[in-house]
Amino acid sequence: MMAANHVTVPKTRKKTKCPVFGTQQQLSEIVLPTYESVMKYYLLVKHDLKSQQNNKDPSLTAIAEHVTANIERLCVNSYNITQTSVTDLQIIPR
């Protein structure tokens, strides 16, 4: 009887792919972000902050501050507006 060659893969909790949005990624510098790209960037920031904090989950506030700062920067660059007027922009639902 021959012994079967089994390759064991160690299990890890470092899964970085979301089943809904896919792989995490940076925001594009060329186009304004979509909801999907913001969520992928959110996952990236969460993963980065978690690795900086010794695998402790970062707070939602900490993640949101990083994400919104980058989105505001993109809006300022895209629309050539001042930083103070970014906070005056309103999101109108469809």
Q: What is the pLDDT of residues 49-94, one digit of tens each?
A: 998 988 888 999 999 999 999 998 888 887 775 555 555 656 666 6
Q: What is the pLDDT of residues 39-54, one digit of tens each?
A: 999 999 999 999 898 8
Residue with tokens 């300022």: 76
User: Count H helices, E strands: the chain?
Assistant: 3, 2
76 neighbors 82 (Cβ within 8 angstroms): yes
Query: Hey, where are the domains in the chain?
Result: 17-82
Residues 6+ apart with CB under 8 A from 41: 24, 25, 26, 27, 33, 67, 70
* Confidence (pLDDT) at 61: 92
Task: Indicate the pLDDT class of residue 21, thresholds 50, 70 and 90.
Answer: confident
Looking at the whole model, is its pTM more than 0.85? no
